[in-house]
Amino acid sequence: MIVVTGPTGNVGRALVDRLVAAGRPVRALTRDPRRARLPAGVEAVRLSLDEPAALFEGATELFLYVQAGGDHTPRLLAAARAAGVRHVVLLSSGIIDSGPDADETHPIHVMHATAERQLRDSGLAWTFLRPNAFAANAFQWAPQIRTGDTVRGVFADGLSAPVHEDDIAAVAERALLDDGHDGAAHRLTGPEAITNAGQVAAIGRALGRELNFAELSPEEAGPELFPHVPPDMLRALLKTFAASVGTPPEITGTVREITGRPARPFALWAEDHVDDFKG
């Protein structure tokens, strides 16, 4: 049995689909099983720490999304180990070990570094997935694209190599099902650099429309552009975004090395998600 946290998120959903297709038993831990709409055959269980041992009964592998455990991650890991889970694949972040200039006080760094340390200390075998920019971050522009042809955003020339969520899930699948990943930290990126304005243009091509990027100053970026980002984290994110202008992003071949096929470019991600941007 493989337990998956975050099964309704972009990566978790893709992983659940992959494991079901591979014929593996899956238990999905979610806050609201009735609304999860998971594939047939998936055991949907409410993620509750009232009886944590029951969450992992019969399981040997765990895919852990950092936010799933929150402050209770050590307790969740202890329950998993006590129930017989042997190996955990943690969806971490590429901000960890990202070079000598890494800001270890950045809230995203702190959150993921803490989860990695807690997993190392748990006594469980572990594998870290450290993706850089998610292609799915482009969903932030969906409301504007559904209603018009101009996207207002910051740092039009900011560069990244966005990774498709299903490529992350494909690596997670192999880390869960294959030997040889214990103690590994896999850095994941897309195959090529693209600007923020280029991402918007690629979404437009997938839709058969011409979309324009209207650049705003960082001071103009607020809740309407980043509605789900806490103010303190937004300031840190804007600093990170600013540093991406004119800076070539890291590009790895990890997806190909582990899955046997290359990572998908952003243009293909846009085609895969064209319905999400239609009005």
pLDDT in single tens digits along all 279 residues of the chain: 999 999 989 999 999 999 999 999 999 998 888 888 898 889 999 888 777 778 999 999 999 987 766 678 898 999 999 999 999 999 999 988 756 666 777 777 888 899 999 999 999 999 999 999 999 999 999 999 999 999 999 999 999 999 999 999 999 999 999 999 999 999 999 999 999 999 999 999 999 999 999 999 888 877 777 777 777 778 888 888 888 999 999 999 999 999 999 999 999 999 999 999 987
Clarify whether residues 80 and 120 are in a common domain: yes
Q: Which domain holds residue 199?
A: 133-164+189-250+264-279
CATH classification of the domain holding 238 = 3.40.50.720
157 found inside a domain: yes
183 found inside a domain: no
pTM to 2 decimal places: 0.92
Q: Which of 163, 160, 140 is nearest to 277 (CA)?
A: 140
Clarify whether residues 21 and 104 are in a common domain: yes
Clarify whether residues 116 and 148 are in a common domain: no
pLDDT number for residue 109: 80
pLDDT number for residue 98: 59
256 found inside a domain: no
Clarify whether residues 120 and 84 are in a common domain: yes
pLDDT number for residue 54: 82
Clarify whether residues 116 and 9 are in a common domain: yes
Clarify whether residues 274 and 159 are in a common domain: yes
210 found inside a domain: yes
pLDDT number for residue 99: 62
What is the total count of domains within the chain? 2
27 found inside a domain: yes
Clarify whether residues 216 and 144 are in a common domain: yes
Clarify whether residues 2 and 17 are in a common domain: yes
200 found inside a domain: yes
Clarify whether residues 112 and 144 are in a common domain: no
